[in-house]
Amino acid sequence: MLKVEDILYISCSKMVEVEIDIITTDRKDRLSVVVLKEIEGNPKRQLLIWIGESEANAIDLVLKKTYMPRPMTHDLIKNIVDTLSFTVSAVFISSVEDNTFFAKLKLKSDREEFDIDSRPSDALAIAI
């Protein structure tokens, strides 16, 4: 069971690297959930984030390496970032307020770095 302290810990200045463990559906309310898991450490903590259906699909398509004939919205964002010679250097889930998760998308070029406010689902879909 995840405690509030854990979430805050993840969101604090000390950042913890996680990976997408699985994307699944909450059986009770049928919402999509992405399960994040700590990469290092023992035991590895998990963080559940409930996300929208379309963002869940976007993440699922990439994880399953599904070939899409046309670029999806997150591909378009990635293509624009690439076109402008930037890279997505990291995403981080920065805070949680009243069940709403906040994330930041870190974009980097040779000279500049930007943090862009985002929903975790979009940030994850672009990151992968």
Binding site for another protein (CB under 8 A): 52-55, 69-74, 76-77, 79-81, 83-84, 86, 100, 102, 105, 107, 114, 116-119, 122
Minimum CB–partner distance for residue 73 and another protein (Å)? 5
Closest CA to 96 of 56, 54, 47, 59: 47
Q: Is the Cβ of residue 10 or residue 107 nearer to another protein in the bound state?
A: 107
Select 6 or 86, whichever has its Cβ closest to another protein: 86
Q: What residues are paired with 79 via a beta bridge?
A: none
